Amino acid sequence: MKHLKSYNIYESDNVCTTCNGKGEVDKEINMFGAMGSYECEDCNGTGKSSRQSFTNNLRSFTDESQSELKSLLDKHEIRYGAVLPKVERYSDNYDDVEKIEIEATIYSTSTLSKEFLEEVNGMYVDYNLHFDTYNHLYLTVYKLY
């Protein structure tokens, strides 16, 4: 995943490019060239691109991923504090992908078993373990949507 370049997601990314956010397009209504306004078929008159529903689906996918990690930590009886999701869009010149990054703060009294790390490795595209300056352990898992 290191070859992917990140870029920010802006609200303007959700504007329908067919109608420029108006929700209507002008179409010829007869053979004499008379024009009329019709609901944009690409956005169903909403003025938003299809990414709007994609974003809603992404939110539920993120919530599911967050509770999936919590369940995994509970299963292996690992004490944790916050489990926080972060979503970033990445581009690799061929395709855009959404990367879900979920970070769990793990209490220093917990131990991570080999079985736990093997399960994490099998479930996620990548993971990272690191300590901060206060010796807090962080597990960050990466999942592609």
CB 59 within 8 A of CB 37: no
Quote the CA–CA distance of 17 and 89 in Å, as a whole number.
Answer: 20
Mean pLDDT, all residues of the chain: 77
pLDDT digits (tens, 9 = 90+) for 99-141: 778 888 888 777 888 999 999 989 888 888 888 887 788 888 8
In 3-state terms, what secondary structure has residue 62?
helix
Residue 88's pLDDT is 72
CB 16 within 8 A of CB 47: yes
Q: Nearest to residue 100, comparing CAs of 53, 59, 56, 144?
A: 144
Residue 115's pLDDT is 93
Q: Which domains does the chain have, with CATH numbers?
A: 62-144 (3.30.200)
Residue 73's pLDDT is 92
pLDDT digits (tens, 9 = 90+) for 83-107: 988 877 665 555 556 677 888 888 8
Q: Nearest to residue 102, comparing CAs of 82, 122, 74?
A: 82
Model pTM greater than 0.95? Answer: no
pLDDT band at 47 (very low <50, low <70, confident <90, very high): confident
